[in-house]
Amino acid sequence: MKNKVLDYLIVGQGVAGSCFALKLFNQNKTFQIIDSNQNKASSVAVGIYNPVVLKRFSLIWKAEQQLQWMFHYFSDFEKLLGENFIEKLPTYRILKSEDEIQTWKKKSDLPVLENFLSKEIQTSKNQNIHAPLGFSEVKHTGRIQLEKCMRLFREFLIQKNNYRHEDFDYSELKIQSDKIIYKGIEARRIVFCEGYKLLENPYFNYLPVIGVKGEVLEIETESEIPKAIWKAHNFLMPENSKTALTASTYDREDMTYEPTENGRKQMQKYLEEIYTGNYKITDQKAGIRPTVVDRRPILGSHPAHQNLFVLNGMGTRGTLLAPQMTEYLYEHIENSAKIDKEADVRRFDKFWD
C-alpha cells in the first residue's frame, strides 16, 4: 500500500517545535514530530516572559505582538491539555543606585513604556528581601510553566501517534522536488526546530547560531518569598511557599550540558544580593540557549531546497518568541506571507555555499 504523504515532518519538540506542531494540529494538518528529548533548553528554562529589557529599560522587539501571540498559544495548550501553564506575576526590579532611580523615573514617563513601567518606587516590607533603595514594578510579566507544558504535550502527541522518539539521522533524508522521504515517512515539507543542535544539521549549520549555556538553581527557603519575580542582577522567583528558582548564567565557552560549580557559586552570589534568609540548594540544571549573532530568530526555507525549513534562534526568550515566529513561518509557507526582514533566514544566504 502506498504511504500517505504527510503535510509536515518536524524535528525537535522544544518550545519552537511544540508551537509549530500546535499550529498544525489546530489547522488539521497531518504531521509527525521526531525528537530525541535530550538536552531540551525548553525543559530547563524558568519560562519567564518579560517584554522589557531590564538592563536598558527599553521594550523588546515587537513586544506587544509577542505578548498577544504568547497568550494565544499557551491558552490553547491549556485548553488542549487541561492544565494551567500561564502564571501572571509582577516583576519587581530592585533599584541599585540613585542614577538608576532617576533613569527609571524618566523611562516610566515615556509614552512607549508607561504601560509597562510603574511610576511608583516601593520599599520592601519583607525582612529577607534586600532592596535598600526600593524597587519598582514591570507590568505584563510572568512565567509559563514550560517544562510541564512540553512534557504533557509530548504525552499528547505520543497518544495521537504524532511523535517518534529518536535521534534524527540526517543521512537518511531524501529530498525530492515535491516531498521529502525519511525512513519510510513521506512529507511535503520538513521543519527543523533543533535548538542549539542545529549546528549538527548539515543543511542549516551555516547559520550563525551561538550557544549560550545557562544554569538554574532550585532552592528551599526558610521563609516564604513574596510571590513575584524579583530581579536584581539575576531573577528570584518563588514556586510555592517553600521552593524558589534563581537564574541565570551566560557562558559562551563551556558547551556541555552539565551544571558546574562555577555556575552555582555565581548564582549564589547574586541570589544573596536579593535574599538574605537561609536556604538550601535542592537542584541545579543547565541548558544551552540557541542565540544568533544579531539577536533575532531565524526562520524560512533553505536557499536550495524549498521544502526544507528552519525555526530557530529563540535565544534567551523562547517563551515570547516561539508563538509569533511560528505564525510568521506558517503564514509564509501556507499563504506566501513575507517573513519580517529581521527574522528571515535569507539575511544569512551570504554564508551558504
Ligand X SMILES: Cc1cc2nc3c(=O)[nH]c(=O)nc-3n(C[C@H](O)[C@H](O)[C@H](O)COP(=O)(O)OP(=O)(O)OC[C@H]3O[C@@H](n4cnc5c(N)ncnc54)[C@H](O)[C@@H]3O)c2cc1C
* Residue 197 vs residues 37, 147, 170, 237: alpha-carbon distances, Å: 12, 19, 12, 29
Counting contacts by CB under 6 A, is residue 289 touching ligand X? yes
Q: DSSP character for 4?
A: P
Cis peptide before 248 (omega within 30 of 0): yes
Please tell me the distance from the alpha carbon of residue 94 to that of residue 226, in angstroms, as a whole number.
14
Counting contacts by CB under 6 A, is residue 168 touching ligand X? yes
Counting contacts by CB under 6 A, is residue 319 touching ligand X? yes
One of 15, 173, 207, 310 touching ligand X (CB under 6 A): 15
Q: Which stretch binds ligand X (CB under 6 A): 23-31, 64-72, 210-218, 220-228?
A: 210-218
Counting contacts by CB under 6 A, is residue 11 touching ligand X? yes
Please tell me the distance from the alpha carbon of residue 22 to that of residue 192, in angstroms, as a whole number.
15
Task: Say if residues 279 and 196 touch (Cβ distance below 8 Å).
Answer: no
Counting contacts by CB under 6 A, is residue 48 touching ligand X? yes
Between helix 318-335 and helix 63-81 the angle, nearest 10°, is 90
One of 211, 238, 290, 300 touching ligand X (CB under 6 A): 290
φ/ψ region of 194 (left if φ > 0, alpha if ψ in -120 to 50, else beta) reads alpha
CB of 47 to ligand X, least distance (A): 5
Q: Which three cell numbers stand for residue 136?
A: 519598582
Counting contacts by CB under 6 A, is residue 318 touching ligand X? yes
Instruction: Compare residues 15 and 191 and give the one whose CB is closer to ligand X.
Output: 15
CB of 291 to ligand X, least distance (A): 8
Strands 180-182 and 173-175 turn out to be antiparallel
Instruction: Compare residues 249 and 301 and give the one whose CB is closer to ligand X.
Output: 249
Select from 135, 123, 322, 288 the least CA-distant residue to 197.
288
Instruction: Compare residues 32 and 108 and give the one whose CB is closer to ligand X.
Output: 32
The phi and psi torsions of 231 (rounded to 5 degrees) equal -130, 120
Instruction: Compare residues 108 and 332 and give the one whose CB is closer to ligand X.
Output: 332
* Residue 342 vs residues 70, 317, 319: alpha-carbon distances, Å: 19, 16, 19
Helices and strands (H, E) in the chain, number of each type: 7, 20
Counting contacts by CB under 6 A, is residue 16 touching ligand X? yes
Residue given cell 528581601 in the structure block: 129
CB of 309 to ligand X, least distance (A): 14
Counting contacts by CB under 6 A, is residue 40 touching ligand X? yes
Please tell me the distance from the alpha carbon of residue 319 to that of residue 326, in angstroms, as a whole number.
12
Counting contacts by CB under 6 A, is residue 297 touching ligand X? no
> Which residue's beta carbon is nearest to the bound ligand X?
14
- The enclosing H or E element of 215 equals strand 209-221
Counting contacts by CB under 6 A, is residue 316 touching ligand X? yes
What mask, x for binding ligand X by CB under 6 A, covers residues 61 to 100?
----------------------------------------
Task: Say if residues 267 and 215 touch (Cβ distance below 8 Å).
Answer: yes
Counting contacts by CB under 6 A, is residue 113 touching ligand X? no
Counting contacts by CB under 6 A, is residue 225 touching ligand X? no
One of 83, 109, 120, 167 touching ligand X (CB under 6 A): 167
CB of 67 to ligand X, least distance (A): 12
CB of 251 to ligand X, least distance (A): 10
Q: Which three cell numbers stand for residue 212?
A: 549560550
Strand blocks (E) in 60-203: 86-88, 91-94, 135-138, 142-144, 163-165, 173-175, 180-182, 185-192
Please tell me the distance from the alpha carbon of residue 33 to that of residue 42, in angstroms, as a whole number.
16
CB of 125 to ligand X, least distance (A): 26
Instruction: Compare residues 40 and 108 and give the one whose CB is closer to ligand X.
Output: 40
Counting contacts by CB under 6 A, is residue 194 touching ligand X? yes
CB of 46 to ligand X, least distance (A): 4
Which positions touch ligand X (CB under 6 A)? 11-17, 34-38, 40-42, 44-48, 167-168, 193-195, 197, 214-216, 247-248, 287, 289-290, 312, 314-320
